[in-house]
């Protein structure tokens, strides 16, 4: 991306604050302020003369200072943000109040002095009213939703890493923000450290986004990678948990709900379609991920869980899909390893744009929160220096573009479908004639058929993806367990 005002990464992304001390640390030789209270005057509500001087220095150098903030949640992501703030500023004075469940819990980034009054445990105690900047890294709907409502109703800025919250309640929250002059920002909610929200937000409508595709769930990508490397599902899960990539219950990751939330958010930013109105068809890597990987191996490819969304069609309906796909071994999708993410934005006028990066992880996600905080600093600086620009423009719904409607605008696609050769429980009944009838009724072309050691391997072609889903349902009704992999483009 170029370095212009639109599309370029603002300078504050990499260096949010000029360093107050030369590399090598503060006056005592260590890094200033890593521990709370390490530098005089850094832990309280008042601003020390050192901090004042730093702000003056920042202002002199042209970058607006980050605003004071309230931090809801100080776990993996919130803790990493606190660490980055301490590292960048030399103190955590900017963080006025922190909400956690258990202040006594040991954590990699220690909380500020518990006697300083800045750490609270009840959401109602968190001072979010009065136009504050609130960074939410709690997760889940409650109490995050209540905090978001209070913040935005009071004209404040709510910066969140919480995709479920925005996917479920984004429209309501955005309406609150529009009414009160507040602001909702969620760069960190999609793709962790991969700046895909920013990429879409900064693209002018005139670029005409035709499709957004992505590997948006790092957990399932890691698990698939492990299976391709020859591990069993239980070994892969165990190592994903040990590395912090999978929670105790990873069902939202492996059944595609997490990726579905994220693709809804991208549709909102790109097309202005409220997340709740995006129709997502979802198939995760379950019920048998090992079989999917074996299938892909036999075909010389790799399985990836791809999400995609197209602009609203002629009837104004915005459709998205999340499904396991077969990608060539040498494709950029196969190159996305471990818990990384990748997104590809196809446009009519700006070619194809791609971003990739760590899809999760405390530091990477905290950097995205910091990016939104940097925007807030620019916004608060107003017109001074001409840096401020509109933030998260909620687009009016992009007018349906006849050329981009899915059936006509994209070439026919292919699916690999493999299934048992005989109807289960009826070894005398061949599946093939049944399959052919189902496909004929759905007007799906059968491009290739191969009978291999009792299984039927086929390639189907259609421009109408939902028909393939219907075929899958009909086959399951016959007690068959079809393995379906969309053959993705490179
Ligand atoms: N982890 C990632 O790699 C990643 C990546 C992208 C987005 N996200 C999103 O970031 C958000 C935070 O994730 P995380 O991994 O940082 O979670 P986490 O490690 O579990 O941290 C959650 C924090 O919120 C606090 N908390 C939770 N419920 C609370 C309640 N009812 N009252 C008070 N405090 C409460 C916890 O307090 P205690 O510390 O006392 O337990 C903890 O500090 C989630 O929305 C997640 O989807 C995470």
Ligand 1 centre to CA of 136 (Å) is 9
Which one, of 198, 193, 216, lies nearest residue 358 by Cα? 193
* Catalytic residue (choose from 163, 179, 262, 422): 262
CA pair distance 285, 298, nearest whole angstrom: 17
- Nearest residue (by CA) to ligand 1, atom 27, is 138
Which one, of 188, 187, 183, 163, lies nearest residue 173 by Cα? 183
Question: Domain 412-487 has what CATH class?
Answer: alpha beta
- Nearest residue (by CA) to ligand 1, atom 12, is 137
Ligand 1 and 78: CB distance under 6 A: yes
Three-state SS sequence of the chain: CCCCCCCCCCHHHCCCCCCCCCCCCCCCCCCCCCCCCCCCCCCCCCCCHHHHHHHHHHHHCCCCCCCCEEEECCCHHHHHHHHHHHHHHCCCCCEEEEECCCCCCCCCCCCCCHHHCCEECCHHHCCCCCCCEEEECCCCCCCHHHHHHHHHHCCCEEEECCHHHHHHHHHHHHHHHHHHCCEEECHHHCCCCCCHHHHHHHCCHHHCEEEEEEECCHHHHHHHHHHHCCCCHHHHHHHHHHCCCCCCCCHHHHCCHHHHHHHHHHHHHHHCCCHHHCEEEECCCCCCHHHHHHHHHHCCEEEEEEEEECCCCCCCCCEEEEEEEEEECCCCCCCCCCCEEEEEEEECCCCEEEEEEECCCHHHHHHHHHHHHHHHHHHHCCCHHHCCCCCCCCCCCCCCCHHHCHHHHCCCEEEEEEEECEECCEEEEEHHHHHHHHHHHCCCEEEEEEEECCEEEEEEEECCHHHHHHHHHHHHHCCCCCEEEEECCC
- Nearest residue (by CA) to ligand 1, atom 42, is 75
Determine phi and psi for 192, rounding to 5 degrees. 50, -105
Residues in the chain predicted with pLDDT less than 70, given as ranges, are 1-62, 383-409
Ligand 1 and 97: CB distance under 6 A: no
Which one, of 333, 309, 321, lies nearest residue 404 by Cα? 309
Ligand 1 and 102: CB distance under 6 A: yes
Question: Which of 138, 168, 193 has most ligand 1 atoms within 8 Å of its beta carbon, as the pocket-test mutant?
Answer: 138
CA pair distance 91, 32, nearest whole angstrom: 7
User: 422 an active-site residue?
Assistant: no
pLDDT in the model for residue 28? 29
Which one, of 408, 412, 401, lies nearest residue 316 by Cα? 401
CA pair distance 155, 129, nearest whole angstrom: 8
Question: Residue ranges per domain, the chain?
Answer: 11-185, 205-357+399-406, 412-487
Fold of 205-357+399-406: Dihydrodipicolinate Reductase; domain 2 (3.30.360)
Ligand 1 centre to CA of 100 (Å) is 9
Q: How is residue 416 written in tokens?
A: 């690999």
Ligand 1 and 192: CB distance under 6 A: yes
- Ligand 1 atom at minimum distance from 136 CA: 11
- Ligand 1 atom at minimum distance from 77 CA: 16
- Ligand 1 atom at minimum distance from 162 CA: 45
Ligand 1 and 389: CB distance under 6 A: no
- Residue 153: count other Cβ atoms within 10 Å of its Cβ: 16
Ligand 1 centre to CA of 165 (Å) is 13
CA distances from 337 to 141, 195, 289, 307, 456 (A): 30, 18, 17, 16, 31
What is the CATH number that goes with domain 11-185? 3.40.50.720
CA pair distance 318, 297, nearest whole angstrom: 33
Cβ 272 vs Cβ 312: under 8 Å: no
Cβ 279 vs Cβ 312: under 8 Å: no
Ligand 1 and 126: CB distance under 6 A: no
CA pair distance 164, 262, nearest whole angstrom: 8
Ligand 1 and 365: CB distance under 6 A: yes
CA pair distance 166, 188, nearest whole angstrom: 11
pLDDT in the model for residue 104? 93
Question: Which of 81, 112, 135, 139 has most ligand 1 atoms within 8 Å of its beta carbon, as the pocket-test mutant?
Answer: 139
Ligand 1 and 190: CB distance under 6 A: no
Ligand 1 and 99: CB distance under 6 A: yes
pLDDT in the model for residue 9? 28
Ligand 1 centre to CA of 230 (Å) is 32
Ligand 1 centre to CA of 71 (Å) is 11
Ligand 1 and 80: CB distance under 6 A: no
């Amino acid at each position: 991306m170029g370095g212009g005002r639109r599309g370029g990464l603002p300078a504050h992304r990499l260096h949010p604050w000029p360093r107050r001390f030369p590399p090598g640390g503060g006056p005592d030789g260590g890094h200033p302020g890593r521990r709370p209270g390490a530098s005089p005057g850094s832990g309280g509500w008042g601003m020390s003369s050192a901090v004042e001087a730093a702000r003056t220095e920042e202002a002199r150098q042209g970058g607006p200072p980050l605003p004071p903030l309230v931090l809801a949640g100080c776990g993996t992501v919130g803790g990493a943000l606190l660490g980055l703030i301490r590292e960048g500023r030399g103190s955590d004075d900017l963080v006025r109040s922190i909400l956690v469940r258990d202040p006594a819990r040991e954590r990699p980034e220690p909380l500020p002095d518990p006697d300083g009054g800045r750490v609270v445990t009840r959401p109602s105690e968190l001072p979010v009213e009065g136009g504050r900047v609130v960074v939410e890294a709690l997760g889940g709907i409650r109490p995050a939703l209540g905090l978001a409502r209070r913040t935005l109703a009071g004209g404040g800025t709510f910066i969140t890493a919480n995709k479920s919250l925005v996917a479920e309640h984004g429209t309501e929250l955005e309406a609150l923000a529009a009414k009160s002059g507040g602001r909702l920002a969620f760069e960190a909610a999609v793709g962790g450290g991969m700046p895909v929200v920013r990429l879409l937000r900064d693209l002018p409508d005139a670029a005409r986004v035709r499709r957004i595709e992505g590997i948006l769930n790092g957990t399932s990508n890691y698990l698939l990678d492990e299976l391709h490397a020859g591990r069993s599902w239980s070994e892969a899960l165990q190592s994903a948990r040990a590395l912090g990539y999978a929670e105790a219950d990873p069902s939202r990751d492996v059944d595609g709900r997490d990726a579905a939330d994220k693709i809804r958010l991208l549709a909102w930013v790109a097309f202005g379609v409220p997340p709740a109105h995006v129709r997502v068809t979802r198939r995760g890597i379950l019920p048998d991920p090992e079989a999917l990987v074996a299938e892909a191996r036999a075909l010389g490819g790799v399985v990836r869980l791809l999400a995609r969304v197209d602009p609203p069609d002629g009837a104004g309906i915005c459709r998205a899909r999340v499904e396991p796909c077969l990608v060539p071994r040498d494709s950029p999708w196969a190159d996305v390893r471990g818990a990384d993410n990748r997104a590809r934005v196809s446009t009519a006028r700006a070619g194809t744009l791609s971003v990739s990066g760590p899809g999760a992880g405390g530091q990477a996600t905290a950097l995205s929160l910091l990016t939104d905080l940097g925007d807030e600093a620019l916004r608060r600086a107003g017109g001074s220096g001409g840096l401020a620009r509109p933030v998260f423009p909620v687009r009016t719904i992009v007018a349906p573009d006849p050329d981009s409607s899915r059936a006509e605008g994209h070439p026919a696609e292919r699916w690999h479908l493999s299934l048992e050769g005989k109807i289960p429980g009826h070894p005398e009944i061949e599946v093939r004639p049944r399959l052919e009838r189902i496909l004929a009724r759905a007007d799906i072309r059968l491009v290739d058929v191969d009978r291999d050691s009792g299984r039927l391997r086929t390639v189907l072609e259609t421009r109408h993806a939902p028909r393939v889903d219907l075929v899958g349902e009909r086959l399951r009704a016959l007690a068959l367990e079809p393995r379906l992999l969309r053959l993705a483009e490179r």
